[in-house]
Each structure stands twice: as C-alpha cells, then as structure tokens.
Amino acid sequence: MAAWLEKMAENDPAGALNLALAEENGKTRDQLRDAVLRAWSKAAPEAAATWALHQPSMEDRLTAMSAVFEGTTMRDPGTAVRLAQKLYAETPALAPDYGNMAIAMLAKHGAYEAAMQFAMHAGGNTAQGSWMNSAFTMWAQYQPEFAASALLRVTNPELHREAFLGLIAGWTAADPAGLANFAKSMPSGENRTEAMQTSLLRWVSVDPVKASAWVDSLEPGPEVDQAAAAVASIPSLIRANPDTALSWATSITNPETRAATLRELATQLSRLDIAAARRVLASAAFSSPADRAAFSEGVNAPPTFE
C-alpha cells in the first residue's frame, strides 16, 4: 500500500494523502502518510513542507517534517540543506529540531559531506555545535578515515572541537581498535590523549586481551599512562577481573600516576569485595614498596557514605 501511494503521489499528492489519512489504524496511517510525503517532497519539497507544518499537533508536524527531509535528501542533499536553512530562519525556536532532522537524513543516505557543510555554515545558530557533533558522529560510524580527513577542513576552533568529539564517539562505537591506531599516529597533545583513552575504554570492554597487547606495544609516555589509568579505574573491569585492572595500573610508568591509580583501584575493589582486595594486597608482586603502600591505603581507606 505504501509503495502504491508513493507512486500515486508523484502525480496526485493530495489524492494520495487523502487515501493515507483515511486509514483507521493510527500506526499504519502514519506510515502511509510518511510514504506519501517522501514521494511528494522529491518533486515539490516546499509544498510538502508547508503541508507538514500545518498539522494540528507538534508531534505530527515533526514526524511529517522528518519524512519531508528524507524524501528531499533522497532526491538532492543540497535541496534538503536549503530547505532546513529556510525553515530554521523562519522559525528559530524550532531550529534545533529542523537541523537535527536534516543532519539525520543526510547521514542516513550517505551525504556526510553535505551534513558537515550544513552544520559548518549554519550562520552562528546556537545549535550549530550540536549539529557538527552529530554529523561527525554518524560519519565516523561508517567512514571514519574520510571523517578524520574532513575534520582538517573545520577551522573554527569551537566547531572543530565539537567535530572531533563526534569523530571519536562515532569511531569508538564502530571500531575502537581502529580509533586507537589512528590516535597512535596523532601528534602528542590533549586530542591524542582523549582519543586514546576513549578508544581503550571501549576496546578493553570488548576485547581486553588484544587491547592490553596493543598498549604493551607502545612506547611509554604520558598519553599511554593516562589511558592505562583510565582503563584500570573502570568499575566494571575491577568488578569482573581485578587482576586485569591491576595489570593496567602497574603498567603505568609515572610513579605518581601509578600510585594514584593503584590507590583508586584498591578503594573501588574494597567497596565491592574487601576479601578480594586483601588477597590482591597479600599476593600481588608490586614493583616498589611505594606501590604496595598506595594499594594498601586504598584497601584500608575509611568507607564513604553518600
């Protein structure tokens, strides 16, 4: 029925909509309406958008507009961008909604470059940073290397930061090992450290053996220490495998960072299983008396009450 109405809407959108809206089942009615709107917006996006904007409830307006953006994007991503720009200029209060719809549909249909350009040239809209973050998050889930290359063209510092955060969020979700290797090639600094930490936190949760071996292959340094400290302090890892968490903590080269991490690890483990914490303290081969003392402080730390 939806396919038939889409075909009908190419020549008679009003008739197709009347048939769709005559459906008694609410869920089916919405599906048929959206099918018609997708087809109509390919030929007449502004007319379809005008109809959607005149729906009685906000929920209906937004879901109908989502279908309009999808149909427009399927026909021409540039037209979808221009429609979004026109709508958020006319109704600034709904700019975040329209921008999010445009970004989502552009990304859904692989128009990642258009999504980035839309966010990058949004004219200082207050939602601009959020749109940039979303565009790069979705891009990095499927084409992380292309997204990383495109990031170099984002020169505005605030937008670059949002794009970078989106990049590592999307890449981590899809391929944490890939992001870790990308971070390895980045120049030293805050971004490299953040990318490495983010990827390892995810990677160690799905494959701790390979993640640990990868860290062992790195040259020691501040970024590696910070990443190891972050992993060693993951509550779920401490709960499931305290020995692995301890291995990450003891791999830290900086004595102060290592001691602080051991203390935090021991504190968390003591709250979960004081007997296990005491067993680790008694049996672990710490590299120095200072490390043993730090772990002991965590084991014997007074309980906290929230």
8 A C-beta contact, residue 299 and residue 270: yes
Find the radius of gyration of the CA atoms of the chain: 26
Task: Quote the domain boundaries for residue 280.
Answer: 175-306
- The pLDDT assigned to 136 comes to 98
- Asked whether residue 188 is domain-assigned, the answer is yes
Averages of pLDDT over runs of 10 residues in the chain (306 residues) are 94 95 95 96 94 92 93 94 89 87 94 94 84 96 97 95 97 96 89 90 85 81 83 85 87 91 92 89 87 91 59
Tracing tokens 């292309």 back to the chain, one arrives at 146
The pair of three-digit structure tokens given for residue 289, joined into one six-digit string: 């008396």
- Flag whether 284 is in a domain: yes
What pLDDT is recorded for position 304? 58
> Rounded to whole angstroms, how far apart are CA atoms 221 and 11?
66
Contact 60, 45 (CB under 8 A): no
d(CA 162, CA 136) in angstroms, rounded, equals 9
Say how many domains are in the chain: 1
| pLDDT tens per residue, range 210-236 | 888 888 788 877 878 888 888 888 888
**Assigned domain for 88 exists:** no
Q: Which residue has the tokens 């099918």?
A: 35
Give long-range contacts, CB 8 A cutoff, 24+ apart: 214-223: 214/177, 214/180, 215/248, 215/251, 216/251, 218/184, 220/253, 221/188, 221/253, 222/188, 222/193, 222/254, 223/188, 223/192, 223/193, 223/196
Q: Tell me what pLDDT residue 306 has.
A: 47
**pLDDT score for 176:** 95
Q: Where are the alpha helices (DSSP H) in the chain?
A: 2-9, 13-21, 26-43, 45-53, 58-75, 77-90, 95-108, 112-120, 128-142, 144-151, 157-174, 176-185, 190-206, 208-216, 222-232, 235-240, 242-250, 255-272, 274-283, 289-299
State the angle between helix axes of 58-75 and 95-108 in degrees (0 to 180), rounded to the nearest 10.
Answer: 40
The Cα–Cα gap between 37 and 34 comes to 5
Cα atoms in the 13 Å half-sphere on the side-chain side of 135: 33
| φ, ψ dihedrals at 25, nearest 5° | -75, 120
Task: Report the C-alpha gap between 102 and 100 in whole angstroms.
Answer: 5
Cα angle for residues 95, 66, 134 (degrees, 5° grid): 60
What pLDDT does residue 305 have? 45
Residue 262 lies in a domain: yes
The answer to whether residue 136 is domain-embedded is no
145 belongs to a structural domain: no
Instruction: Report the C-alpha gap between 120 and 118 in whole angstroms.
Output: 6
The backbone torsions φ and ψ at residue 76, rounded to the nearest 5 degrees and listed phi first, read -165, 110
pLDDT at 303: 63
58 falls within a domain = no
Q: What is residue 93's DSSP assignment? A: G
Q: Residue 11 has what DSSP assignment?
A: T
